[in-house]
Structure 1
């Protein structure tokens, strides 16, 4: 059996064991279906919920908030990270405020964004931008400053201009660090969108979690959680694939199994 086949078999076996343990738990302890339904009952409800007329709207809204916020957050993080890495003065001026914004609990910032931007997608996009921005900025700073001194001296001797430094050295040196930040930020982006939707929204998977809790619908809550987990997994795998393709030349890829 190939390596891929063994991994696939292991995942399938693990999933089957999980379902058996789940069914055994609800059967042995007589768990009410309102608290936790068995796997067969839940998957029947799961399919019914997916066929709801507005489910596509909820999924699309969350994906939109994540995608737009993630892209803007990454771009802002890259720009600010590069500027702060190149200027000690800018770093001293802006870092305290950026750190304060980062350490503030996001669940406490979400209501402010709702007041400022309303219940629509804009407030959730803003929250996603905030949570994505910091790791991208920090990793960009680390990457830009990882350029070895002898390489910097060589560029100085060759009289390379700013663009040549950026394209030929700074990007290759900083790319591993930046892409590492991108992978981390994918999970942050989903968290930011869901927090915003749970605080106040008209649509989205986070909104369904709150709706399910208010109506005591465990199936709706579990469905939303599963869909969010699948989104997170796909985004993480996509970022990992991009990292592998863009960093074929880098030594870090030699140890990836």
Structure 2
């Protein structure tokens, strides 16, 4: 049989090329935005913070005082411990149940309606009940974090597993793959991109859960710092707590994003 060689050029996918000026502009934009926000804040408090407002200088002084005394570190470690515990519990249970819901129709019909109904109850209404029965502490606040993380992660897992191509499942079946082989070689790799989206969102939700729990009953934590400082009208400490919560949430989000980048490097 004659062999024919097809000659010609094929279009290549190229990444957009940015000039050095645009690259630096993209890097500087967040800094510029922060500078504008700081300038606006300074202008709004130009007459002094007074009783209800805090100036940037007052917040900076409060930061210095709390860092030097070790109080801020104690609040951060308490909140991080609650977030870590709640994140682990919520994500683990959500993945197990979400996988079961996606693979077994009976489980979906039995469990999902109740979970949707429970999700409609605000966590701020549930938190006092949980603390009343279990008492305040690390586990209780971790459980509140787990509850707020659980449902979004369950839905993410369900969608991720269901989105796997049926032809790929059929191929694994034809190759006589075991359940474990299908789970590790097909389902996990195929579902990871979607699951990591849920994991990143869950980091910020876990921080919110910790703040809710600490606001109801706690003696330490960033949420406690915000609530207590608000009650005593210490606006500088309120801003310290809020800014630190933002930094913690972004740091956790960034950490999961780096794990995602490493885990999915085979896609690039």
Following TM superposition, by how much is the alpha carbon of 1:8 offset from its aligned partner in structure 2, in angstroms?
A: 3.4
Conservation of the 8 A alpha-carbon contact between 2:59 and 2:237 = no
2:43 aligns with 24
What per-residue deviation string (whole Å, max 9, x for no partner) do you get for residues 162-205 of structure 1? 01111111111111111111011111100001001011112111
Following TM superposition, by how much is the alpha carbon of 1:118 offset from its aligned partner in structure 2, in angstroms?
A: 0.9
1:13 aligns with 32
- Measured in 2, the distance between the counterparts of 1:188 and 1:232 equals 9
Q: Aligned to 2:176, what secondary structure does the other structure show?
A: coil
Following TM superposition, by how much is the alpha carbon of 1:159 offset from its aligned partner in structure 2, in angstroms?
A: 1.2
More off after superposition, 88-97 vs 8-17: 8-17
Q: Aligned to 2:265, what secondary structure does the other structure show?
A: coil
Gaps of 5+ in 1: none
In the alignment, structure 1 residue 93 sits paired with structure 2 residue 113: no
- Measured in 1, the distance between the counterparts of 2:35 and 2:168 equals 54
- Measured in 1, the distance between the counterparts of 2:179 and 2:185 equals 10
In the alignment, structure 1 residue 36 sits paired with structure 2 residue 28: no
- Measured in 2, the distance between the counterparts of 1:210 and 1:179 equals 32
Off by >6 Å, runs of 4+ in structure 1: none
- Measured in 2, the distance between the counterparts of 1:45 and 1:205 equals 14
Conservation of the 8 A alpha-carbon contact between 1:69 and 1:129 = yes
Query: Residues 53 and 173 (structure 1 numbering): CA distance in 2 closer, same or farther, change over 3 Å?
Result: closer
Following TM superposition, by how much is the alpha carbon of 1:44 offset from its aligned partner in structure 2, in angstroms?
A: 1.7
In the alignment, structure 1 residue 157 sits paired with structure 2 residue 157: no
2:9 aligns with none
Following TM superposition, by how much is the alpha carbon of 1:52 offset from its aligned partner in structure 2, in angstroms?
A: 2.7
In the alignment, structure 1 residue 233 sits paired with structure 2 residue 246: no
Alignment size in residue pairs:
249
1:45 aligns with 62
* Structure whose alpha-carbon radius of gyration is higher: 2
TM-score, normalised via structure 1 length: 0.91
Gaps of 5+ in 2: 1-19
Following TM superposition, by how much is the alpha carbon of 1:62 offset from its aligned partner in structure 2, in angstroms?
A: 0.5
In the alignment, structure 1 residue 195 sits paired with structure 2 residue 212: yes
1:130 aligns with 147
Following TM superposition, by how much is the alpha carbon of 1:115 offset from its aligned partner in structure 2, in angstroms?
A: 0.8
More off after superposition, 155-164 vs 32-41: 32-41
Q: Matches of residues 40-79 of structure 1 in structure 2 within 5 Å?
A: 40-79=57-96
Q: Aligned to 2:51, what secondary structure does the other structure show?
A: coil
Q: CA RMSD in A?
A: 1.7
Following TM superposition, by how much is the alpha carbon of 1:237 offset from its aligned partner in structure 2, in angstroms?
A: 1.2
More off after superposition, 108-117 vs 47-56: 47-56
Conservation of the 8 A alpha-carbon contact between 1:81 and 1:138 = yes
TM-score, normalised via structure 2 length: 0.87
Following TM superposition, by how much is the alpha carbon of 1:48 offset from its aligned partner in structure 2, in angstroms?
A: 1.2
1:185 aligns with 202
- Measured in 1, the distance between the counterparts of 2:210 and 2:251 equals 16
Q: Aligned to 1:182, what secondary structure does the other structure show?
A: helix
- Measured in 1, the distance between the counterparts of 2:202 and 2:221 equals 20
- Measured in 2, the distance between the counterparts of 1:4 and 1:33 equals 42
